[in-house]
Structure 1
Amino acid sequence: MRLDKFLKVSRIIKRRSVAKEISDQGRITINGNNAKSSSNVSVDDQLIIKFGNKTETVKILRIVETTKKDEAEQMYEIIDESYKEDFRKGVN
């Protein structure tokens, strides 16, 4: 399955167009390699997704073409979630 479609179906990213934009900007890696929206993903792949100040590492558990909202979270497992320090915090 294409990366952008997986991100949308799994509801990690709500819109496929946004998933395409983020992946084409080089903000997503698959198993340590830079990914494009057209990159194929498969079960057991590890994705690192950089959202603004948050970086999320997920492992793909299953791939399905369509899913209901409550079943989408069963498609992946969050391995790590980290936030950048906001350099403006503590500045008076």
Structure 2
Amino acid sequence: MRLDKFLKVSRLIKRRTLAKEVADQGRITVNGNSAKASTTLTVGDELVIRFGQKVVTLRINELRETVKKDEAETLYTIIKEEKLTN
């Protein structure tokens, strides 16, 4: 599954176009490598996403095309979440 689609389906980022912009800005890494929106994900991949003043590290548990809102969090496990300080 594409990175931008996973971010939308898992509801980590609300819109796919926004997920593409975040990836194109180089704010997402997959398994330590900078990722584009078209990067193909597999179960077990580790993502690091920079949201403004926060960095979230998560592992992919499952890939599904569609998922209900209350089941979206089952697609990933948050490993760590840290605030950036300037």
TM-score per shorter chain, which class? over 0.9
1:49 matched to 2:14: no
Q: Distance in 2 between matches of 1:46 and 1:84?
A: 20
Q: Which runs of 5+ in 2 are unaligned?
A: none
SS at match of 1:21: helix
Mapping of residues 1-92 of structure 1, within 5 Å: 1-85=1-85, 87=86
Instruction: Provide the identity percentage.
Output: 59
> What is the count of residue pairs matched by the alignment?
86
Q: How far did 1:70 drift?
A: 0.4
Q: How far did 1:55 drift?
A: 0.2
SS at match of 2:78: strand
Across the aligned residues of Structure 1 and Structure 2, the Cα RMSD in angstroms comes to 0.6
The one-character-per-residue Cα deviations of 1:33-65 (angstroms, maximum 9, x if unpaired) are 000000000100000000110000010000000
Q: Which has the larger radius of gyration?
A: 1
The ranges of structure 1 where at least 4 consecutive aligned residues each deviate by more than 4 angstroms after the TM superposition are: none
Q: Which runs of 5+ in 1 are unaligned?
A: 88-92
